[in-house]
Structure 1
Amino acid sequence: MMKTIDRTRLQSVMQREQKKFVDERPKSKALFERARKKWAGAFPPFVREAQGAHFFDVDGHRYTDFCLGDTGAMTGHSPFATVKAAEEQMRRGITLMLPSEDAIFVAEELQKRFSLPYWQFALTATDANRFSIRLCRQITGRPKILDYNWCYHGTVDETFIHLAANGTAGPRPGNIGPPVNPTITTTVVEFNDIPALEQALAAGDVACVLAEPAMTNVGIVHPQPGYHKTLRELTRKYETLLIIDETHTICAGPGGYTRAENLQPDVIVFGKAIGAGIPGAAYGFSQELADRIVARQELENCDVGGIGGTLAGNALSLAAMRATLTKVLTKEAFDR
């Protein structure tokens, strides 16, 4: 017979551990009392410093960090090479609205790793996803994207859609102030459901599929054998572009999941770890896509096109990316 959980005892244990947590962290508590005047929230330990796989709170407690800034510090907190490059660049200029040689180097390095020839930069993977979606809609003339139920692509408005138990699409619960009902902008299917994918693409209104190689925000949901091959075949069949968001799956190797599994996307997006936590992101695209973008470009309107930003591709971010790619996210590091 299955034992039931004694919820009264469970609540008592929880209260005891919460009290212990608070009592052992008087400095964090004091900072929380100060902070709660500014924002609402729970009681976190306030961090004093972080290095490698560990951090210390203001009360002196040492933690092994299994979150690592939600992969922003995937390579460990404050890797020496990235910190050194950032310090040197800050003395030379932080944001210039002009390119540095680092931008060329990073683009060349990303081409070697991911085989896509053209690269642009943003501050976050959310922005890189948004910009990529805009470009795909522009060059296909189609209004919608397709994504997967309970996927994660940052705070991209089009992705806050889900399938209810009865299969009906609608806004995700908790979606704050959606600009429009996401069913207007997005078609959603279950990951690994090939018949649903083909049915959705056959409608002919999907500009791009936005996909994680493996879903990473509802546990880990791996693709079924052959799924990515079929996904690529179907997107080509229905003239739909394919964006692969590698922001979390870049941990699969120097070229992320894309190179490890020989995926062939039109666009690749990633952020977070590429700068070891210093804000930065990149999105790369194929020669064919680049040609189509140039053919639709109107230079006199580029400032109001909804792509890019004042700090996108800034000198500090690019210096951090270069150092991280060459001295932290190396083949040798992945091999270890």
Structure 2
Amino acid sequence: MIDRARLATLTEREASVFAERNPKSAAAYAEAGHLFGRVPMTWMNKKAGAFPLYVESARGNRVVDLDGNEYLDFALGDTGAMAGHSPAPVVDAVGRRIYEQGGMTMMMPTTDAEWVGAELSRRFGMDAWSFALTATDANRWAIRLVRAITGRSKILFHSYCYHGSVDESLIVVGPDGKGMDRPGNVGAPVKVTKTSRVAEFNDIEGLERQLAHGDVAAVLIEPALTNIGIVLPEPGYHDAVRRLTREHGALLIIDETHTFSAGPGGATQAWALEPDVVVIGKAIGGGIPSGAYGLSAELAERILNRTDLDIVDMGGVGGTLAGSPLSVAAMRATLEEVLTDAAFETMIATATAFTDGVREIIAEFELPWSINQLGARAEYRFATPYPTNGTDAAAAADPELEDYLHLALANRGILLTPFHNMALMCPTTSLDDVAAHHAALREVVAELVA
């Protein structure tokens, strides 16, 4: 129902407005000749306009760019700032570590680490925790451990899952139903099918076929897919995953990095899941690089009893800056004072209001779209009904329509996650902020379908 010529005209207009509003960001991008792709990380080039917005300051869910424009930030660092930008307890804890206590990285433990481990155990149920600087690293180290302890070589993923830049995870179900490299995969060390197996999300039979090969060390999953839209599990799916992994001798790793939005203990707690390993990152550090993985007591004991595994020095598990006093102090402050059980209640209620309002706009304009919610996180997709696996969700992508919406919303002071239409609520996101998003979305949609 989208008039493509009208879409192109509106996008051109919004791009012109974007350029007029942001001359300093445009100049900064043009002058960035010493950066690969002109940005600190090449994914910052995922932008609807001709250049990325440069940030001047950020507090809570407000961002001010280099040109002085203020935005309501629903991207929140693609979950990394789920606590809000620079939450006061984290700033205070980091300040104490730097200015009063000293020692940002020392290769020595602090007592904060045990507090964080105990709190993560309360929330996610795992017994023994180890720290990383990113969830990507935590996933890599967890994969090494499960391969070592099972003696099996392959990891099973869901098609279009998201586990950072872990090599093994960049596998999708191809047109022939078999595993293949995810399109655009950069510099794979080996063909991905040598390290990995893949099944569609919500496909119990497909999962069982892959496990039946007997070479899967672990199934590494997001409880809901989150980087290709929010693809929710169908009733009974997680029970089947746990049953099948046990029947086929595979371990279960749950990556809660994005699904932490489901509640204080992520989907693991909210849905009473029973993993062997939990991985989490981004949000738990309140903006300071942080990640962690937790093991069941039984698995931790099995690993520690293996005298042939070098998990202390150069065996491939760990990093010099992981578990640093600075990172651990930030994690403690975030979990103890910001992303609390009470905060999640408010954030989820706010996200429910966001979801309900978007659903009303979709119905008002009879759009063939849909929206899913995962706790404090919601995302609309250009399909109805909402896709139930990653391949169908990927097929529902519409880059031109997405660019228009992102540009038009940014010009009206609203930021969504640049990779997709994800909106996340932090503790300071208000119902008025949600209403502002809805007003802007209604305006840009009305012009599109007029």
Moved more, 28-37 or 255-264: 28-37
Distance 1:77 1:317 in 2: 16
1:6 shift after superposition:
4.2
1:250 shift after superposition:
0.8
- Corresponding letter in the other structure for 1:32: Y
Q: How does 1:166-245 map to 2 (within 5 A)?
A: 166-245=176-255
Structure 2 SS opposite 1:104: helix
1:35 shift after superposition:
1.3
1:299 shift after superposition:
6.7
Distance 1:257 1:31, change over 3 A: same
Deviations 1:253-304 (A, max 9, x none): 1111101111010000000000011100010000110111012244767422
Distance 1:274 1:301 in 2: 24
Task: Give the gaps of 5 or more residues in structure 2.
Answer: 38-44, 347-450
Q: How does 1:68-87 map to 2 (within 5 A)?
A: 68-87=76-95
Q: How does 1:32-43 map to 2 (within 5 A)?
A: 32-36=29-33, 38-40=35-37, 41=45, 42-43=50-51
1:314 shift after superposition:
0.6
TM-score normalized by the length of structure 1? 0.96
Distance 1:26 1:271 in 2: 35
Q: Within the alignment, does 1:13 sit opposite 2:10 as a pair?
A: yes
1:168 shift after superposition:
2.4
Distance 1:131 1:61, change over 3 A: same
Deviations 1:7-56 (A, max 9, x none): 2x433332222122112212112211111453324501110001111100
Q: How does 1:106-121 map to 2 (within 5 A)?
A: 106-121=116-131
**1:293 corresponds to which residue?**
303
Q: Which 4+ residue blocks in structure 1 deviate beyond 4 angstroms?
A: none
Structure 1 SS opposite 2:76: coil
Q: Within the alignment, does 1:46 sit opposite 2:54 as a pair?
A: yes
Distance 1:55 1:4 in 2: 31
Moved more, 82-91 or 321-330: 82-91
**2:267 alignment partner, one of 229, 254, 257:** 257
Structure 1 SS opposite 2:31: helix
**1:152 alignment partner, one of 137, 152, 162:** 162
Structure 2 SS opposite 1:64: strand
Structure 1 SS opposite 2:292: strand
Distance 1:6 1:172, change over 3 A: closer
**1:95 corresponds to which residue?**
105
**1:140 corresponds to which residue?**
150
Structure 2 SS opposite 1:126: helix
Identical counterparts, % of pairs: 55
**2:132 corresponds to which residue?**
122
- Corresponding letter in the other structure for 2:263: G
- Corresponding letter in the other structure for 1:5: D
Task: Give the gaps of 5 or more residues in structure 1.
Answer: none
TM-score normalized by the length of structure 2? 0.72
Distance 1:300 1:245, change over 3 A: closer
Q: Within the alignment, does 1:267 sit opposite 2:277 as a pair?
A: yes
Deviations 1:230-255 (A, max 9, x none): 11111111111000000011111111
Distance 1:293 1:247 in 2: 24
2:309·2:315 contact (CA, 8 Å) conserved in 1? no
2:311·2:317 contact (CA, 8 Å) conserved in 1? no
CA RMSD of aligned residues (A): 1.4
Distance 1:88 1:191 in 2: 44
1:123 shift after superposition:
0.4
Distance 1:88 1:172 in 2: 44
**1:58 corresponds to which residue?**
66
Distance 1:299 1:234 in 2: 28
- Corresponding letter in the other structure for 2:16: K
Distance 1:214 1:328 in 2: 24
Distance 1:144 1:63 in 2: 44
Distance 2:92 2:296 in 1: 33
Structure 2 SS opposite 1:208: strand
**1:280 corresponds to which residue?**
290
